[in-house]
Amino acid sequence: MSSTTKSSPQRANLLQGTLDMLILRTLLYGPAHGHQIGKRIQQTTNDFLQMQHGSLYPALHRLERRGWVISKWEMAPDRNREFKYYRLTEKGKKQLVVEESQWKQMAEAVARVMWPATEES
């Protein structure tokens, strides 16, 4: 919709569609709430992928609507408050496998175009 927020050059915008995969992958470690998921993706990539909450929450709700994750309000172990925890479902796990293999194919295809010599040797 609006393109007013610009990302700094060092930080890549998430490719359309990959966010779902990243969230699913992050949830493989165990249930997490929205803030944690964002933080985790950010930390794992050494802040290269800057999470924007603007896309994180819609994505979470979209995944829930498709039945790939379920959510529940639970007490956080470290803080004395309830958070909305997202948990991967069986369907979500299968989806992750599908998306992973698609991503791999895509990455290989891109690589073949970008570095043909490396591929031949």
- 4-63 positions binding another protein, by CB under 8 A: 4-5, 33-35, 52-55, 57-59, 61-62
Contacts 24+ apart (CB under 8 A), 97-104: 99/20, 99/21, 99/24, 100/21, 100/25, 103/18, 103/21
Shortest Cβ distance from residue 100 to another protein (Å)? 22
Tokens 């992973």 sit on residue: 100
Shortest Cβ distance from residue 106 to another protein (Å)? 24
Length of the chain, in residues? 121
d(CA 32, CA 43): 15
Shortest Cβ distance from residue 1 to another protein (Å)? 7
Q: Which residues bind another protein (CB under 8 A)?
A: 1-2, 4-5, 33-35, 52-55, 57-59, 61-62, 65, 73, 79, 81-84
